[in-house]
Structure 1
Amino acid sequence: MRLSGWMCAAVVGALVSAAAPAAADPPPDPFTGSSGLGDPYYPEDGNGGYDATHYDVTIDYDPPSHQLTGKTRIDAVSTQALRAFNLDFAGPEVRTVSVNNMPAAFNRNGEHELTVTPMLPLLPGLPFTVTVDYAGIAANTEGNGWTYAPSGGAFAAGEPHSATSWFPLNDTPLDKATFALHATVPAEWEVVSNGLRTQDAVQGERRTVSWEAHQPVVGYLTTIAIDKFNFLDQQRANGTPLISAFAPQAERNRETEQRLPEILDFLENLYGPYPFESSGGIYVDADIMFSLETQTRPIYAPWTDLPTVVHEITHQWWGDSVSVRHWSDVCLNECFASYSADYLWPEQKESKDVDAEYRETIRKYQGNSDFWQVPLENPGAGNEFTSVYYRGPLFLHALRRQLGDDVFFAAVREFNAGHAYGNASMPDFRTFIQSKSPTNLTDFFDAWLNQTTPPPDEYLYPGSLRG
């Protein structure tokens, strides 16, 4: 995610107050999957008892009425005996649920829980299928999921949540799955999503479009966009298709998007082969304050510029292929995306003196306590998308100068490849980088990642940054 300029400039200082201790919970039912996976910031995200392997989402959407009719099939494997389990869903009314093609009982509870009780209990280690039918008005979440576009269309975007507004899933970065979308809309509308477009058929007054993502994806990185798009079709030298779409008032971004092959080549040289089978972008004209790295095809806000595209495409390596283990690890996503866009691209493509820029930023903010208030590692719930943007690039530049270019770039490339299509944490990153350095980096990492004051000069100005 990249925030709009004025949001990035604001230093967020409010910290979340500690909640009063809750009453002791009853012991969990060993035959019911947990309603959450205990993320430190979002403990009710995700669900226990199963691993999702594939989502097949079929929707019919009428833009004038906002009526959405959906049917989602979830293929999964049980990890324990289950007489009940949860899905995450905050969308329209659920009409029926079936498990292995047999009717199942269900109820909705909590903020986004859909509890399913199959007719026959599920045995551990076996595959099963859940099908959920739902219909109703798809509510406008204004950038936190299903969002109405000025043209009358709609799109889905939001971090850390968005998918629950339009299809049921196991909504956690820890459970990636492949994804397919089949969307039917009035014939004059277009539909864009993740991966490869496998169908675009008009029959009478209706258009049906299918997209498939064959590499696993986290829920918030799925998307659908419905609008009267114009398209830009490009191709990398290796044949990778690049499909980009522009809403009616977003055509001014076409020139920037034409540089996508160049951007992919640049990032591939840094971080290794592009991890997905397609790329592109979805340029909306709704007044949202962020752009988002939806997998293979980011959602771009109207204020998008070239650094924003570099930022979101960097996320295809850092955030999409390699995803956080917990949301406290968000620096892995945003620090690398911001460093690539704000330091590496200007340095290597525009011959900027990024050492000078680094020193000037330190001079400007070294005495500003607000700038250092939110730590980069474990910034706290509600503060995930603050310091990682403006201090993350400084941390990585200091680390690069501490290690030297040869070690730094080889290490981050190897780390990314070693966690491709999976998850990683900031402690994983620290341990791995330490294995590449003969110098003890414990105090360096602590000063940059855990403290809420400026690092000592020896860590602010390592290597060539001295003097």
Structure 2
Amino acid sequence: MHRRIIAPGALAAATLLLAIPASAASHSPGAPGIGDPYYPDYGNGGYDVSHYDLRLTYQPATDELAGTATISARTTQDLSRFNLDFLLDVGEVRVNGVKAAFTTARQHELMVTPKTPLAKGTPITVVVRYSGVPSTKSAYGFTTWHRTPDGAVAADEPEAAWWWFPSNDHPSDKATYDVSVAVPDGTQAISNGTLQSVTSKLGWTRYNWRENKPQATYLATLALGKFDITTGTSEDGVPVINAYSRDLGDNDGAARASVERTGEIVDWLSGFFGPYPFSSAGGYVPNTTTGYALETQTRVYYSPRQFANGSNTSVVVHELAHQWYGDSVSLKGWKDIWINEGFARYAQWLWSEHEGEGTAQELADHVYASHPADDPFWTVAPGDPGPDHQFDIAVYDRGALAVQALRDEIGDKAFFALLKGWPQRHAYGNASVADFQRYAEQVSGKPLAALFDTWLFQPSKPAAPAARAVSPAKTQTAPAQPRSWKRIQATNDVHSR
């Protein structure tokens, strides 16, 4: 998904020294960041989360959110203290049933000191009671909690969780989720996974959602408002749940014409990537002013602006491709973003070919020819673009060119085996660009270090592969623009504000 404002990890906040019992001499605080060089303050060290249970109440008239988060985790070191990423006001924290001391630091750190230090390998249950008005909170000068005329939406990348639940906010610590939200009658709550139940009492309706497969924190979403919800099942048997704000206006028809093809597209993508990895699929289109879309797990977020110029199944293909490449197999660190975006873009190229609007080869030729050697486009390295260029168009288009170059090098048989095998090899886990290169070499039986270096890391325009070389007589004429190109370009801000 989105834009990038680099988190100032270099912001040196004064270290808060909390009194630790003498018995904790061998214990130490968990790190305030998980160690990602792009975002040093994101995530936390010292524990691994397995499940989030969120029981919330939301009042759309005032944007007040209150609730209790119960976090199941296991320590990965002897801990005297640990952090959670969070912004709202905390009333109480308990660790294994006992009240714990807590304070805040930096932009989004909730620092928790249990009454008794925790030994490495200890299962822990952390309960956080909290409340606040998320739209009044910001960190690093922005917010990922978006008000709508009848509610709000939490959806953004690389961070979104801080505004609505405490977490270890990094994709390397994935967990399952139960999200239960009470809203006034007439308002609905939409989240990831499958809807377990809906109950009403005394003017409030509670929606209970469950995501039973590991999910990165930025892929957790919450939409609150008044929606028209459609349900169905794809031909392959995947349940589909879509939702549209009731006040989308002129964008309503185009949004439905695109998102209602989710089941068809999921089945089609399964032919390339293997069985759909989750219990449900779908998307929602709230009435927001943002411009991007995001691959929130099982329930894709689409801005209405994605359909301002008419229907666009290409953006639906992009976000659904992420369910395999990005959601089921998540990046180890944010520098590995190419595996997410390069393959989601390439899925759009495959869809173009499926729709008879330009082959993947023709699209690769067009992109390659559209950027001369001195274009800054070639200075961005998709394999490690840096936080300032993490969502640069080169990560998408040059990233997809790298995928096509790989296909040219290893041939279709190995390439399509690779496309399908990768999501199965690392299902529900995390992997890096280096892991992908090793797997590609294993599947193809070819050394690929030079190809990966040329297309993903060198700050210059690669020589055209032999498969795409053109004769000297044609070098003055760029390849014809495929018919799908404008629709694909319309998704260029898919992850931009």
Q: 1:289 to 1:403 in 2, by over 3 A?
A: same
**1:271·1:317 contact (CA, 8 Å) conserved in 2?**
yes
Alignment of 1:74-223 (within 5 A): 74-90=71-87, 92-139=88-135, 144-149=143-148, 151-223=149-221
| Alignment correspondent of 2:43 | 46
Q: Secondary structure at the match of 2:350?
A: helix
TM-score (norm 1): 0.91
Structure 1 unmatched runs, 5+: 4-11
Deviation (angstroms), 1:401: 1.5
2:281 is aligned with 1:279: yes
Q: 1:20 to 1:209 in 2, by over 3 A?
A: closer
| Alignment correspondent of 2:481 | none
Q: 1:380 to 1:423 in 2, by over 3 A?
A: same
| Alignment correspondent of 2:228 | 230
| Alignment correspondent of 1:463 | 467
Deviation (angstroms), 1:30: 4.5
Hey, what's the Cα distance between the residues in 1 that align with 2:93 and 2:7? 38
One-letter identity of the residue aligned with 1:53: S
**1:319·1:332 contact (CA, 8 Å) conserved in 2?**
yes
Hey, what's the Cα distance between the residues in 2 that align with 1:201 and 1:20? 45
Deviation (angstroms), 1:18: 12
Alignment of 1:435-446 (within 5 A): 435-446=442-453
Q: 1:15 to 1:33 in 2, by over 3 A?
A: closer
| Alignment correspondent of 1:7 | none
Structure 2 unmatched runs, 5+: 18-24, 307-311, 472-497
Q: 1:72 to 1:15 in 2, by over 3 A?
A: closer
Hey, what's the Cα distance between the residues in 2 that align with 1:210 and 1:347? 40
Deviation string 1:416-453 (CA, Å, 9 cap, x unpaired) is 21111000000111122122335432222111111111
Relative to structure 2, which stretch is displaced further, 245-254 or 14-23?
A: 14-23
Taking only the aligned residue pairs, the percentage that are identical comes to: 38
Hey, what's the Cα distance between the residues in 2 that align with 1:438 and 1:277? 34
Q: 1:112 to 1:2 in 2, by over 3 A?
A: closer
| Alignment correspondent of 2:378 | 372
Deviation string 1:181-221 (CA, Å, 9 cap, x unpaired) is 11111101011000010121222311111100000100000
**1:157·1:292 contact (CA, 8 Å) conserved in 2?**
yes
One-letter identity of the residue aligned with 2:197: Q
Q: Secondary structure at the match of 2:28?
A: coil
21, 28, 33: which one aligns with 1:31: 28
Q: Secondary structure at the match of 2:353?
A: helix
**1:58·1:181 contact (CA, 8 Å) conserved in 2?**
yes
Hey, what's the Cα distance between the residues in 1 that align with 2:41 and 2:6? 21
Hey, what's the Cα distance between the residues in 2 that align with 1:229 and 1:66? 17
Q: 1:18 to 1:449 in 2, by over 3 A?
A: farther
326, 331, 337: which one aligns with 2:338: 331
**2:83·2:109 contact (CA, 8 Å) conserved in 1?**
yes
**1:108·1:114 contact (CA, 8 Å) conserved in 2?**
yes
Hey, what's the Cα distance between the residues in 2 that align with 1:244 and 1:268? 19
| Alignment correspondent of 2:304 | 302
One-letter identity of the residue aligned with 2:453: D
2:243 is aligned with 1:245: yes
One-letter identity of the residue aligned with 1:406: K
Deviation (angstroms), 1:464: 6.0
Deviation string 1:226-271 (CA, Å, 9 cap, x unpaired) is 0110011111234321111101233321122221111011110001
| Alignment correspondent of 1:9 | none
Deviation (angstroms), 1:397: 1.3
**2:30·2:46 contact (CA, 8 Å) conserved in 1?**
yes
Q: 1:236 to 1:15 in 2, by over 3 A?
A: closer
Hey, what's the Cα distance between the residues in 2 that align with 1:430 and 1:348? 27
Number of residue equivalences? 450
One-letter identity of the residue aligned with 1:198: Q
Q: Secondary structure at the match of 2:305?
A: coil
| Alignment correspondent of 2:482 | none
* RMSD of Structure 2 on Structure 1 (CA): 2.6
Relative to structure 2, which stretch is displaced further, 351-360 or 396-405?
A: 351-360
**1:143·1:158 contact (CA, 8 Å) conserved in 2?**
no
| Alignment correspondent of 2:369 | 363
Q: 1:136 to 1:198 in 2, by over 3 A?
A: same
TM-score (norm 2): 0.85
Deviation (angstroms), 1:358: 2.0
